[in-house]
């Protein structure tokens, strides 16, 4: 018989674990005292639970929709209420999780320059709206911990020499050698602040309105932990750690992915999972693939990492008609340990990142991709290099428009190509996440881009609920076609154990025009062979080439076609997918 561990010993063990984390981050500080403070802020001194190691907190029914709170509007109604109604109407029993992008008061960057972490933007609703959504969906919220708004009270206090805030921000001597710093923007790294007596230079990784917090001060860590506790109380189950790779700075280094950064992630993981063993941490690290993978740690950092290389590689595959690089990347991806998995997305509120394609696509291939996206109406955002030059950072375009053709130009296969992209995402190892605009086939919004003055707004349209519902209902509309095809595919995926996020995955080799892989359920009873024609020409596949077992009965889950003759061949039309399985 297993004995329940006494609560006091759990608390003691957690306090020691937190103290050990802190010793790495803050050598020379009174780490046991800081640990006691953190446990008190998280209320772990009152209720401390024991998470199970390597437990998968997800299965094949888990899927997420990513959206701004005010993507869908209705007159005289809070946007959060309108969003809740839209999601319940269209996705109940299909998509069980929602990522609501920053819903706090903000000053810029569509929410990621937070003025007050503890309030809901009154233009969107209030905490009661958040709580209601969290009762119907697993809720993911952003933990924007690298920086806050220059209008946050902490920064106002910093400028006036008051607390809290007086020592919350990272300052540096501008004469230091900062040439090796990795930047995601072209704006100046430092912002000067003068109070008439002295001038300070504050660090701004993402721009002058987003001022970097200084985690060298343990009080900053305590403020963040206090915020985390509030979010848990308000129903947040999934924490998206925004731009977490940049949180620790050390002059003379690249100031990205430092050891202290990883230790902070491990510390927050320890605190969060002992407060709620079902809570999940996802790291948002838009960086090259090898660096991104490090945020799994040894299954002790992020539960999930954003699969940032998937969007640029998949778009490149579909517009070039060649899956060589996508296939090589898939073979290189290590299976996630139980208790961790990949977070798969192919469109988001940001652009198609190019840094995650570094080392995977050649310079010439990236140039061809950029040129094709510009031909389809996309825009390019840039980042600064340490030599003063700039380099493309991301492509800003609605995914539906990104796939309106190939490198040869626009064609008639836009919807089929768009659906193919999502079918691939749905079948890959990991949890799939749909940008709301992709679910309804939203196109480039040039008016919003010009009104807001930045490229990312091209893919952040706001819909009136009634108008969007009319378009979804109109059978002649591409919105209708996209919406209902994706709903059908989501429903199919939910019922397949072989699509569990941690089910076995192997890459198949069927040429450069067929992107193929095999999934097998964790109990080994179900196999699914996923064959995707990623070209604009029909492709013939011999069934014998995928080693279907002749003693089994095989069926395509999408078309319901049966395959009994193992010596036969099958023709895949342009951008067609087969999910061939032995269990249905």
The DSSP string of 131-152 is HHHHHHSEEEEEEE-SEEETTS
Q: Are 74 and 82 contacting, i.e. CB atoms less than 8 angstroms apart?
A: yes
Longest dimension (CA), the chain: 85
500 is in an annotated binding site: no
- Residue count of the chain, please give it: 584
Both tokens of 362, joined, read: 């050649």
Task: Answer for the pair 264, 228: CB distance below 8 angstroms, yes or no.
Answer: no
The angle that helices 465-473 and 79-91 make with each other, rounded to 10 degrees, is: 20
> Taking the chain, what is the end-to-end CA distance rounded to the nearest angstrom?
39
Taking CB atoms within 8 Å and a gap of at least 24, the contacts of 446-452 are 446/377, 449/379, 449/396, 452/110
464 close to 73: Cβ distance less than 8 angstroms: yes
How far, in Å, CA of 540 to CA of 568, rounded? 10
For residue 219, say whether it is annotated as part of any ligand binding site: no
Distance CA 144, CA 433 (A): 20
136 is in an annotated binding site: no
Per the annotation, the verdict on 129 as an active-site residue is no
3-class SS of residue 563: strand
How far is the C-alpha of 260 from the C-alpha of 25, rounded, in Å? 5
User: Do 242 and 147 touch, CB atoms closer than 8 A?
Assistant: no
Task: Establish whether 456 is an annotated binding residue.
Answer: yes
* Residues 384, 388: Cα–Cα separation, whole Å: 7
The burial class, CB within 10 Å (0-12 / 13-18 / 19+), for 155 is buried
Choose the catalytic residue: 242, 401, 536, 556.
Answer: 242
Give the helix/strand (H/E) hosting 581.
strand 577-581
Nearest residue to 383 via CA among 375, 374, 373, 393: 393
Q: How far apart are CA 163 and CA 144, in angstroms?
A: 21
Active site residues: 242
Binding residue positions for substrate? 109, 147, 240-242, 349-350, 456
Binding residue positions? 109, 147, 240-242, 349-350, 456
């Amino acid at each position: 018989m297993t004995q329940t561990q006494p609560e006091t010993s759990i608390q003691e063990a957690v306090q020691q674990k937190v103290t050990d984390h802190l010793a790495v981050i803050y050598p020379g500080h009174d780490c046991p005292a800081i640990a006691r403070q953190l446990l008190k802020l998280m209320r772990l001194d009152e209720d401390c639970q024991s998470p199970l190691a390597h437990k998968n907190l997800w299965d094949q029914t888990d899927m997420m929709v990513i959206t701004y709170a005010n993507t869908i509007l209705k007159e005289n109604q809070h946007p959060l209420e309108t969003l809740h109604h839209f999601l319940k109407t269209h996705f109940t029993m299909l998509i069980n999780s929602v990522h609501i992008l920053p819903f706090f008061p903000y000053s810029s960057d569509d929410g990621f320059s937070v003025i007050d972490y503890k309030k809901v933007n009154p233009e969107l609703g209030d905490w009661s709206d958040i709580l209601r959504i969290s009762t119907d969906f697993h809720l993911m919220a952003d933990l924007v911990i690298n920086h806050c708004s220059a209008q946050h009270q902490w920064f106002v206090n910093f400028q006036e020499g008051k607390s809290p805030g007086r020592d919350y921000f990272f300052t540096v001597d501008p004469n230091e050698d900062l040439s090796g710093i990795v930047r995601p923007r072209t704006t100046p790294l430092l912002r000067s602040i003068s109070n008439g007596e002295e001038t300070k230079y504050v660090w701004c990784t993402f721009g002058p309105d987003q001022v970097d917090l200084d985690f060298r001060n343990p009080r900053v860590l305590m403020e963040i932990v206090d915020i985390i506790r509030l979010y848990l109380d308000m129903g947040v189950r999934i924490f998206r750690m925004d731009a977490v790779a940049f949180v620790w700075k050390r002059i003379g280094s690249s100031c990205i992915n430092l050891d202290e950064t990883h230790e902070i992630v491990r510390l927050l993981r320890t605190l969060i999972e002992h407060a709620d063993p079902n809570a999940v941490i996802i790291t948002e690290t838009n960086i090259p693939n090898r660096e991104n993978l490090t945020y799994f740690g040894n299954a002790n950092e992020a539960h999930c990492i954003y699969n940032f290389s998937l969007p640029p590689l998949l778009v490149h595959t579909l517009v070039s008609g060649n899956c060589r690089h996508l296939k090589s990347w898939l073979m290189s991806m290590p299976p996630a340990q139980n208790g961790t998995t990949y977070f798969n997305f192919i469109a988001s509120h940001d652009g198609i990142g190019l840094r995650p394609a570094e080392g995977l696509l050649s310079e010439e291939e990236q140039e061809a991709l950029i040129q094709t996206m510009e031909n389809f109406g996309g825009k390019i955002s840039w980042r600064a290099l340490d030599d003063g030059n700039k380099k493309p950072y991301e492509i800003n375009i609605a995914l539906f428009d990104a796939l309106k053709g190939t490198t040869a130009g626009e064609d008639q296969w836009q919807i089929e190509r768009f659906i193919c992209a999502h079918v691939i995402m749905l079948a890959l190892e990991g949890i799939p996440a749909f940008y709301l605009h992709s679910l309804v086939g939203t196109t480039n919004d040039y008016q919003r881009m010009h009104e807001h003055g930045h490229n990312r707004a091209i893919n952040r349209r706001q819909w009136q609920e009634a108008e969007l519902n009319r378009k979804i209902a109109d059978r002649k509309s591409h919105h209708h076609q996209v919406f209902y095809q994706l709903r059908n595919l989501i429903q199919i995926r939910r019922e397949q154990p072989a699509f569990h996020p941690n089910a076995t995955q192997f890459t198949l080799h069927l040429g450069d025009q067929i992107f193929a892989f095999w999934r097998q359920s964790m109990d080994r009873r179900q196999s699914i062979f996923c064959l995707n024609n990623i070209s604009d020409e029909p492709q013939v596949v011999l069934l014998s080439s995928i080693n279907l077992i002749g003693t089994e009965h095989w069926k395509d889950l999408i078309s319901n076609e049966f395959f009994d003759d193992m010596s036969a061949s099958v023709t895949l039309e342009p951008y067609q997918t087969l999910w061939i399985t032995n269990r249905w």
